[in-house]
Structures are given as structure tokens and as C-alpha cells.
Amino acid sequence: MTQPTFVPISEADQVRPARHLHVPGSWTTTRPAELTTPTARRGRLVGTPGPDAGFALRLARRCAPDLKLTEGEVEHDVLVGCALIAARRAALFGRAPSIYDVELALALWGFLVEAPAALVATRRQAFASVSHDYVAQRALVDSIPEEDLKL
């Protein structure tokens, strides 16, 4: 609210004039390091960014009682590995992970049924210490083709 002119106020309390900013000109992507395409980098050991990927681990923990593990398989490694696969699947569709992504990841590796011996040997090697090794995590997730994840 403005103050009447006859009321005395100090100089520090006086209303200052406003600064007006100029209107910016046009902008183009001409700098050397600018990304000119809207796609992210893809390939081995890069990952697939997606929203709320950590939620897949919480969903995977819900499936822990249903796991059919054999000798030498660690539940924590299985849950982390399948959560990573589920997060990648959800990111391919541009959404956050759901329980169906986790169930598909578990089903791909046969953790919800009694799996054949050949599959058990393969998954035991693929999931060995995967929760502690980033390169093993990326190798596990990259080992599944996108076509299979989009089922």
C-alpha cells in the first residue's frame, strides 16, 4: 500500500524504481557440446533411465516368499537382479515399475517354479554376487534382449 506524501519516512524505506529486463532474442543449439537429439545414449553398460526405478526393489521383496531357490542361490542377489530387470522393462515403456514387471523378471529366470537343471546352473552363475558388483548387474540386465522384455 502506498503511503501519503505528508507522512515522514526514512530514505531506506522509500520505494525504489523497478528494473525492467530486456526481452531475450532467439535461441539455437549452436554450442559444441549441446545435445541435438532427444534420445539418450544406448548400449552395453549404460543402463536404461526411468522414473522411480528403486520401487522395483520394494516390489521384488514382496515376492520373496514365492521364490523357489536351489542350493547356492542367495535370495538378496536374486531380488536385486530381478528388480534391475523389472526397472529396465518399465523404463522401456517410459513408466515406473509395477508388480507385473517384477513377476516377468522372476518368471524369465524360473524363480517362481521348479526350474530345469540347465536353467538353474545358468541363473546361479548370472546372479552370483550381483547385488555387490555393478558390472555384473549391467551384464545381467543387458543379457536379456529388449524384445523379451517387451512381452
Which pLDDT band holds residue 36 (cuts at 50, 70, 90)?
low
Q: Identify the pLDDT of residue 8.
A: 78
Mean pLDDT throughout 94-104? 93
pLDDT, tens digit, 9 for 90 and up, residues 42-93: 677 777 778 888 899 999 999 999 999 998 899 999 999 999 999 999 998 9
pLDDT at 103 over 90: yes
Q: How far apart are CA 25 and CA 114, in angstroms?
A: 66
For residues 139 and 119, what is the distance between their CA atoms, to the nearest angstrom?
A: 17
Strand, coil or helix: 46: coil
Going 90 to 54 to 49 to 141, the CA torsion angle's sign is negative
String of DSSP letters for 64-131: GGG----TT--HHHHHHHHHHHHHHHHHHTTS---HHHHHHHHHHTT-SS---HHHHHHHHHHTTTGG
Q: State the Cα–Cα distance between residues 25 and 44, nearest whole angstrom.
A: 41
Q: What percent of the chain has pLDDT over 70?
A: 91
Averaged pLDDT, 128-148: 91
- So what's the pLDDT on residue 39? 67
Grid coordinates belonging to 111: 524363480
Shortest CA distance to 149 belongs to which of 104, 82, 107, 98?
104
Amino acid identity of residue 95, one-letter, is R
The dihedral through the CA atoms of 11, 13, 17, 23 has a sign that is positive
Pairwise CA distance, residues 115 & 71, whole Å: 13
